Amino acid sequence: MQAIQLGFNDGWEMTWSEHADDILDYIDARLQPGHPMRKTKWYPAAKLWRRNTYILEKQKHDGTFWLLDFHRRKRVQGKSVVYFKQIEDQSEMDEILRKGLEYWVQEMKDRGAWDG
């Protein structure tokens, strides 16, 4: 099994260690009490620019990455919860990163900060 690599672009920000606890506090305060992501201790590896969308890894990193998106929902056992999913392979990671970059470019255009 090929290891998944997390790359960065202008849409995705690396989360600095000094901000990790603040991000984890934010996540903890907003996840529903029975949310499946509460069963694991996480480290925020990346954050989508100006959105509460994160790429997480387990504190005891096992080579997997997970997407947690507070702007989306999904149903788990009949309940609506904050969207999450394990990133299955490098092509899926690349697609998530590409969509984040597209989001950033559109935001820059909307703000008048991009003319390309």
* Per-residue pLDDT reduced to its tens digit, 15-72: 999 999 999 999 999 999 999 999 999 999 999 999 999 999 999 889 899 999 999 9
Q: Which residues pair with 69 in a beta bridge?
A: 53, 83
Torsion-angle region of 78 (φ positive above 0: left; ψ -120 to 50: alpha; else: beta):
left
Model pLDDT for residues 73-115, shown as the tens digit of each residue: 999 989 999 999 999 999 999 999 999 999 999 998 988 876 6
- What pLDDT score was predicted for residue 3? 86
82 in Cβ contact with 35 (< 8 Å): yes
φ, ψ of residue 26 to 5 degrees: the values are: -60, -50
For 101, the token pair is: 């970059």
Cβ-contact 107, 12 below 8 angstroms: no
pTM of the model: 0.90
Q: By the 8 A CB rule, do 100 and 9 touch?
A: yes
3-state secondary structure of 78: coil
Question: Which amino acid belongs to residue 112?
Answer: G
Q: Which two tokens stand for residue 51?
A: 């959105």
